[in-house]
Amino acid sequence: MCVTGKLDPIQGAQQSSNKGVKALISLGRNPMRKVLLATTGLTVGTLMAVTSAIAGPFGNTVDEAKGNSQVVLDWLDGKLDNYGKNNVTYDGPVIEFRSSSHIPAVSSLAKLQIQGFDQLEKMSNGKIKVSTTWSQTVHGVREGRKAVRTGLSDQAPCFSLYTARDYNVVGGLGLPFLFNNSHEAVATAEQLYPKYLKKEFERFRVKLMREAHTGPYHLYNNKPVRTLEEVKGMKVRAGGGTHAQIIGALGATQVSMPGASAYTAMQRGTIDAIHFNDAAALIFKLHEVSKYRTANGFNVLTIEYCMSADWFDDLPADLQVVVNNWGRQMAIAEAVGFYDYGGLVNVEKMKSQGLEIVDMGAAELDKWKAAVDGVEKAWVADAEKKGVPATAFMADIRKNAAKFAGMTPNEVMLDAINNPVQGVYDMK
């Protein structure tokens, strides 16, 4: 985004070649079709021949989703010839980039991020060398921003979710029913960064390296929940901020706790259900204690990755552009590889182990939507009181989300690659 081992969930899915990339791009009915065809050298006839079975912007099956995500998967595997026109001229010493995280080193997300860091090193012609620290060695889940600001790390997750009182704008991206998937949310957030999000983060003397988003959240529970009435009175695990407000609006009692604690809490009966994304659900083995998943897709949650402003400002100009380009591409890669495609793969794995998917139907889902309608209205009203142009922000979210809603992950990634940052994106 702006200044911004294989994977367990998608193991075996990243075996295509560069040739496969050019054969599996699905462009659908998107206005960017001509641009992308021109930059990739593909023809409409070729596309129709190889993608006739691929439906929609993402796909309804694992195979369809894989075809629509193949460019992203190959990017992670380092199989693309073109990463954008980065034009590295810097010939000085190698610059270390220290990344830290609370997540376990053995997790599939850590493995994906390591793959992404490999691409940063490649895009910088080896002039940026990434060192990684995991498993809360440097900081816990809530201390990432402080670690970056104080010089303990050059990049770390800085979840606004857990420090919601520090932010006035970014919480709007987690309001219900704005996005269909993670890559749509990521592409939208990038467009909004200069106008709305830049000041929000840089007042802490950090830069937002990339705005990640989870996949849509669903209700994992140990009984089949099909109606809004059945949710009322339930104790539901949720994060903080707008996520907690959504659970409250449903008539449930929100219980705030880290995702890693949800399994035990469910097992002990401390909570009745878990509102969670599919990618992480398998990692935390939630299907072992929650036999049902009610598909509602309420919202995505933001996961911000902060970068040291001092580290970035000291970079030569050409490497600043590389970092911006990489951040855009990495945000998409994580959105698709871990949350969108990875989440779909994980659901299939959990279904094979006994998880039952409960589809409440369109009419019942409308009741749930009506129940949470007040969450956005309340957030907008509160933000406007603080001087935040919340009404305009929500309008811009929906405008950009509509633009990206019909694009495949392949299209979104190709746009980032073929239209690289000119200068420093967030300083224009």
Residue 426: pLDDT band (50, 70, 90) is low
Q: Which domain holds residue 225?
A: 217-299+352-392
Tally of structural domains, the chain: 1
Q: What is the pLDDT of residue 32?
A: 40
The whole-number pLDDT of residue 34 equals 38
Q: How far apart are CA 230 and CA 155, in angstroms?
A: 43
* Tokens 């380009």 found at: 325
273 within a domain of the structure (yes/no): yes
The number of residues making up the chain comes to: 428
Residue 18 pLDDT class (50, 70, 90 cuts): very low
Residue 220: which H helix or E strand, with range? strand 217-221
Contact 74, 81 (CB under 8 A): no
User: Would you place residue 424 in the very low, low, confident or very high pLDDT band (cuts 50, 70, 90)?
Assistant: low
- Give, in degrees to the nearest 5, the angle at Cα 328 between 303 and 23: 115
Of 293 and 259, more confident: 293
In a domain, 378, yes or no: yes
Question: Residue 161 carries which DSSP code?
Answer: G
User: Which residues are 220's β-sheet partners?
Assistant: 274, 293
- Is the pLDDT reported for residue 427 higher than 50? no
Q: What percent of the chain has pLDDT over 70?
A: 85
In this structure, what CATH number is given to the domain that contains residue 240? 3.40.190.170
Does 194 fall in a domain? no
pLDDT at 29 over 70: no
Model pLDDT for residues 320-341, shown as the tens digit of each residue: 999 999 999 999 999 999 999 9
CB-CB contact of 125 with 89 (8 Å)? no
208-232 pLDDT, tens per residue?
Answer: 999 889 999 999 999 999 999 999 9
pLDDT value at residue 61? 85
Position 81 scores a pLDDT of 73
Dihedral over alpha carbons 337, 81, 79, 153 (to 10 degrees): -60
Domain presence at residue 405:
no
Rg (CA), the chain: 21
Mean pLDDT of 90-97: 97
Residue 318 maps to a domain: no
With contact defined as beta carbons under 8 Å apart, do 329 and 75 qualify? yes
The pair phi, psi for residue 249, each rounded to 5°, is: -65, -25
Please report whether residue 375 resides in a domain.
yes
Residue 92 carries which side chain, given as an amino acid letter? G
**282 lies in some domain:** yes
Interatomic CA distance for residues 389 and 112, integer angstroms: 36
Residue 357 lies in a domain: yes
Write the pLDDT tens digit of every residue in 5-17: 333 333 333 333 3
Q: Which residues are CB-contacts of 352 (< 8 A; sequence separation ≥ 6)?
A: none
Residue 384's pLDDT is what? 96
Range with lowest mean pLDDT among 103-117, 147-161, 276-290, 410-424: 410-424
| Candidate from 225-229, 255-259, 270-274, 403-407 with smallest mean pLDDT | 255-259
| Alpha-carbon dihedral angle through residues 153, 333, 200, 164, given to the nearest 10 degrees | -90
Rounded Cα–Cα distance for residues 173 and 128 (Å): 31
Count the Cβ atoms, other than its own, within 10 Å of residue 367: 12
Q: Give 131-163 pLDDT, tens digit per residue.
A: 999 999 999 989 999 999 999 999 999 988 778
Contact predicate 171/160, CB 8 Å: yes
In this predicted model, what pLDDT tens digit does every residue of 31-85 receive, in sequence order?
A: 343 334 333 333 322 222 223 222 346 777 899 999 999 999 999 999 987 666 6
Mean pLDDT for 86-98 is: 94
281-309 burial, b for 16+ CB within 10 Å, e for fewer? Answer: bbbbebbebbebbbebbbbbbbbbbbbbb
Which among 70, 72, 83, 71 is positioned nearest to 121, based on CA atoms? 83
Provide the token pair at 222: 């140990």
Nearest alpha carbon to residue 169 among 145, 148, 214, 199: 199
Average pLDDT of the chain to the nearest whole number: 84
Kindly state the tokens that stand for 137: 């060695």
